[in-house]
Structure 1
Amino acid sequence: MNESAFQAGAARVDITPPLGTLINGDFITHYARFIHDPLYAKALVLQQGKTTLALVIVDICAMPKDLLDEVKIALQNETGLLPQQVLIASTHTHAAGSVASLLLGAADLPYRQKLPALLIESVKAALQHRRPAKIGFGAVDVPEHVVCRRFFMKEGYQALNPVTGGLDGVKTNPFGDEQQIDRRVAPVDPQVSFLAVKGLDDQWISVLANYSLHYVGDWENGTITADYFGVFSEEIGRLLQAGPGFVGMMSNGTSGEANIWDFLDPDRYPKAHFAKSELIGKDIAGKVANALQAIGWQEAPELSARYTEVAAGVRKPSAEELDAAKKLAAESQYETIQQVDRDALRRIYAREQVLLNDYPDTNLFPVQALQIGTGRIGALGAEFFAETGLKLKQNHQPYFTITMANGYIGYVPPAHEIERGGYETWRCRTSFLEPGAEEAIRTQLVELLKAEAERPVYSSYEIKQYER
């Protein structure tokens, strides 16, 4: 094998949690009672000369930065892969094992201890599968399946903010209040972007797609499923008639305010469990498969990676707010909460203020940019709105943003959306950065994407952490 030639390899490792494992992604904890389909850690490795990139997409809701930093350090020790050249991201299925504490959804410690070795195994297997390859980028619009879930409501509607006790200017997911909707707040990103990889023998290696659709969620609580991300991954392989070594992958784009619960047309999808995710995943796969017929291939793509961290201030409760939150938390019986009504929200977010108050005043936020031939991929460790992704796409094409990558701190809305309010902006451990953070992070990513990637970019924090 010519070591200077472009090579690629892909692999997947089963990470399905055992029954009884905690599930997060809701306001309260659920427990795995039924496994509908297996979950995977899927790795794609690209190598050109001495530069190797690894992209790992994991069927899980969210993975914190400290966990992924540990994985990257272990990978460096075992394989020599540099941490800044490894991208690890969650799909954001809300029906997976929990490794992060989100609201009242607790982390499952046994599963958290088990997961790192499985992620490492996926990358090592992909490295073993490397062979001469070619890559191509493409995109197709799929506007049917993604809508903004934030709404301006009709005059007189009261959208309660459980943190401030006041009223928001917008309402997220207005269940039961559909008749009070005025209009959607913002446009979404309808594009499915993708990176395709074939061997020089024209046998498929992998397709990594990216869509800004939050998740589908057409299952009963207690279910383990990869959601539409898994459906797409299986269907694209079938449509391409790919061999057993093919690895289909779907990553999450800038979907912080986007989902498929269409409150203006609630009956346009089938209601049965898994029917909607099957329909959407297969439809996206069909459109991507058609677009792949016109893709242009690159056999000697230059590879590079740049990584840094942005210091962003943390929003915290005032002394008065903290005192009130402590009193409410002290009288709340959280273990009895089953229905998340207005009173439950007040109590849940009171607890969040108490816990958030112990956070450091500054958060170091991971920002990564990969160059793969003529294409670029940005990676951000949180949930960003479509506005952020659309602005980033203005600077580079082909390009897409993978979110919930290299860490997870919750939502990072634009400053004007924080001012409007709504669920995604409520101050808590999953929405706590200062209003200017989105612009600062986006600006930094633009700079990385523009930069000549002759050598990796480190922050001083990363040098200390990764070289210890």
Structure 2
Amino acid sequence: MTTPVSAGVAQIDITPEVGTKLAGSLWPRVSQGVQDPLYVKALVVESEGQQLAMVSLDLVSLERAEGDRTVALASEATRIPPERIVWTATHTHTGPYTRKRQSEHINAEWLAKLSGRIAQAVADAQANLRPARLSRLRAFHFALCHNRRLAFKDGRHVNTWLLANDCGVQSVGSAGPIDPEIGMLAFDDPDGKLMALFFTYALHTNANFGPCFSADYPATVAKRIAKHFGDQAATIYFPGCCGNINHCVPAGAERRDVVIGNLLADAMIPAIEKRQPLPGPFALNAAKREITVPYRDLWVDMEERLAKSMYAPKSCDYFREAQKTLQAEGKTQADTILQAWHIGDTGFLSLPGEVFVEWGIKIKQASPFPWTFPVELGADSLGYLVTREAYEAGGYESLLSLGTMIDVAGVELMVDRGLGELRRLHKMAEKA
């Protein structure tokens, strides 16, 4: 059996200096140490003369301008076309600020070097290309996460971390589902040793939330995979659609991100051990689509929404100030980008924000590929991409903030156009 497929991986430490402010909450925190390093990780796959680069950044998010600059540098260094270099942020809540709207909290010296480091990781991964065999596999974990919005009898949705501020109205259950599937692609060398593992799971990487830099639970998964399969086994994580999904691990003696990572690894390792390489070669293709999406009504009266959200007064002030900032900018829409790609019969679609799990499930159902892994925070960062029901019911993700402003109509357009790109790629693969 000929398998003219190659894969290469690389990672570069992008951890800023201690003292850099941490993003991931309404208010900045000053980093006090490093619990585990932050990395850019790159996976380059080659089949039938075509190359594709998948890049994961241990950051809460990255805006399009910085991402476009990075892709241009990486493409220049590797000759991989820009549309075939796809990237996402892992959304760790213990990483540095990158959002220009909060520039006063950014470590400017660190950010100035970021694009070059990311491009170097892609070039290193390309240089590390060697023959590989691909397996697609999956596992499940149901007990780690919950839909973090609770529905109430008066129609509102309240976030689970705000339930201590009792609204006095009866709850009528969870406001939405979870997605328990752990999607994986494994790349083995010709001797059957694991070279690289891609995985995706729909769970917010906010389990650590401490005062030190941390890549959260994906870092623990990576350590477990390397310990079990050898140090040559690199792990790259892309976040699933988890905008409304939080963990449900109680505080204890061990860090919660470590608990989650170990439990995920416990579910993943048996599936990896049973992997069966697929016959190659595989068609590889990718597309990026420019799209313009409308903002929400920036002049909406937020007071009723804030009151029903159950946020404390100080936090409500944050949202009021954010609304004023957005109004002063005078923008009514955003130009952003969608990423669609496939490796054989496995499709991927990334949306540029924190995507509600309902959209991820819809993408899986509607995709023409037999297997599809939806990805959030790809190619840009436009905040929460909610459903129409969620916007009308309120809650944190439906409030205007410094990072969230896209109207539901824009989200619906993203999903529709993104699925259109997957269908186009699928037709091209069928004709090949």
TM-score by length of 2: 0.89
* Cα separation, partners in 2 of 1:306 and 1:394, compared to 1, 3 Å: same
Structure 1 residue 380 and structure 2 residue 368: aligned?
no
Structure 2 counterpart SS, 1:151: strand
Per-residue CA distance 1:179-206 (angstroms, 9 max, x = gap): 9662210111111111111122212211
Match of 1:188 among 175, 178, 190: 178
Question: Residue 320 of structure 2 corresponds to which residue in structure 1?
Answer: 350
Task: Choose 296-305 or 381-390, whichever is displaced more.
Answer: 296-305
Question: Residue 199 of structure 1 corresponds to which residue in structure 2?
Answer: 189
Match of 2:162 among 152, 174, 184: 174
Match of 1:304 among 272, 278, 285: 285
CA distance in 1, matches of 2:200, 2:166: 30
1:343 is displaced (CA, Å) by: 2.5
Per-residue CA distance 1:376-414 (angstroms, 9 max, x = gap): 111111101110011111134321112111111110101
1:430 is displaced (CA, Å) by: 2.1
Query: Contact 2:21 / 2:28 at 8 angstroms: preserved in 1?
Result: yes
CA distance in 2, matches of 1:455, 1:140: 30
Question: Residue 410 of structure 2 corresponds to which residue in structure 1?
Answer: 437
Query: Contact 1:43 / 1:126 at 8 angstroms: preserved in 2?
Result: yes
Matches within 5 A, 1:241-256: 241-242=229-230, 244-256=231-243
Structure 1 residue 425 and structure 2 residue 398: aligned?
yes
Q: What 5-or-longer segments of structure 2 have no aligned partner?
A: 304-309
Structure 2 counterpart SS, 1:231: helix
Query: Contact 1:219 / 1:273 at 8 angstroms: preserved in 2?
Result: no
CA distance in 1, matches of 2:319, 2:167: 27
Match of 2:246 among 256, 259, 264: 259
Amino acid at match of 1:315: R
Query: Contact 1:46 / 1:52 at 8 angstroms: preserved in 2?
Result: yes
Amino acid at match of 2:162: P
1:421 is displaced (CA, Å) by: 0.8
Per-residue CA distance 1:324-367 (angstroms, 9 max, x = gap): 9xxxxxxxxxxxxxxx9633223212221222121532212321
Amino acid at match of 1:227: D
Structure 1 counterpart SS, 2:192: coil
1:219 is displaced (CA, Å) by: 4.6
CA distance in 2, matches of 1:348, 1:171: 18
Question: Residue 389 of structure 1 corresponds to which residue in structure 2?
Answer: 360
Task: Choose 293-302 or 435-444, whichever is displaced more.
Answer: 293-302
Question: Residue 19 of structure 1 corresponds to which residue in structure 2?
Answer: 18
TM-score by length of 1: 0.83
* Cα separation, partners in 2 of 1:437 and 1:46, compared to 1, 3 Å: same
* Cα separation, partners in 2 of 1:9 and 1:178, compared to 1, 3 Å: farther
1:114 is displaced (CA, Å) by: 2.0
CA distance in 2, matches of 1:88, 1:308: 14
Per-residue CA distance 1:299-333 (angstroms, 9 max, x = gap): 31110001102211112423x969x9xxxxxxxxx
1:445 is displaced (CA, Å) by: 1.4
Structure 1 residue 314 and structure 2 residue 295: aligned?
yes
Match of 2:253 among 272, 279, 284: 272
Question: Residue 329 of structure 1 corresponds to which residue in structure 2?
Answer: none
1:46 is displaced (CA, Å) by: 0.4
Query: Contact 2:22 / 2:29 at 8 angstroms: preserved in 1?
Result: yes
CA distance in 1, matches of 2:27, 2:77: 38
Q: Which runs of 4+ in 1 moved over 4 A?
A: 101-105, 177-181, 453-456
Amino acid at match of 1:208: F
Structure 1 residue 212 and structure 2 residue 202: aligned?
yes
Structure 1 residue 237 and structure 2 residue 226: aligned?
yes
Amino acid at match of 1:49: E
CA distance in 2, matches of 1:80, 1:147: 42
Question: Residue 49 of structure 2 corresponds to which residue in structure 1?
Answer: 50
Structure 1 residue 400 and structure 2 residue 373: aligned?
yes
Query: Contact 1:21 / 1:32 at 8 angstroms: preserved in 2?
Result: yes
Query: Contact 2:93 / 2:208 at 8 angstroms: preserved in 1?
Result: no
1:21 is displaced (CA, Å) by: 0.9
Structure 2 counterpart SS, 1:296: coil
CA distance in 1, matches of 2:275, 2:7: 18
CA distance in 1, matches of 2:141, 2:410: 30
1:282 is displaced (CA, Å) by: 1.3
Q: What 5-or-longer segments of structure 1 have no aligned partner?
A: 156-167, 263-267, 325-339, 457-468
Amino acid at match of 1:224: F
Structure 1 counterpart SS, 2:18: coil
Question: Residue 224 of structure 1 corresponds to which residue in structure 2?
Answer: 213
* Cα separation, partners in 2 of 1:454 and 1:386, compared to 1, 3 Å: closer
Per-residue CA distance 1:126-162 (angstroms, 9 max, x = gap): 011100112121221211111011012466xxxxxxx
CA distance in 2, matches of 1:144, 1:104: 38
Question: Residue 145 of structure 2 corresponds to which residue in structure 1?
Answer: 146
Query: Contact 1:23 / 1:105 at 8 angstroms: preserved in 2?
Result: no
Amino acid at match of 1:353: Q
Superposition CA RMSD, Å? 2.5
Question: Residue 165 of structure 1 corresponds to which residue in structure 2?
Answer: none
Query: Contact 1:382 / 1:404 at 8 angstroms: preserved in 2?
Result: yes
Structure 2 counterpart SS, 1:224: coil
* Cα separation, partners in 2 of 1:381 and 1:317, compared to 1, 3 Å: closer
Aligned-pair identity in percent equals: 21
Query: Contact 1:27 / 1:103 at 8 angstroms: preserved in 2?
Result: no
Query: Contact 1:24 / 1:107 at 8 angstroms: preserved in 2?
Result: no
CA distance in 1, matches of 2:194, 2:408: 44
Amino acid at match of 1:344: K
1:369 is displaced (CA, Å) by: 1.1
Per-residue CA distance 1:413-450 (angstroms, 9 max, x = gap): 01221111100010233221122122211111111111
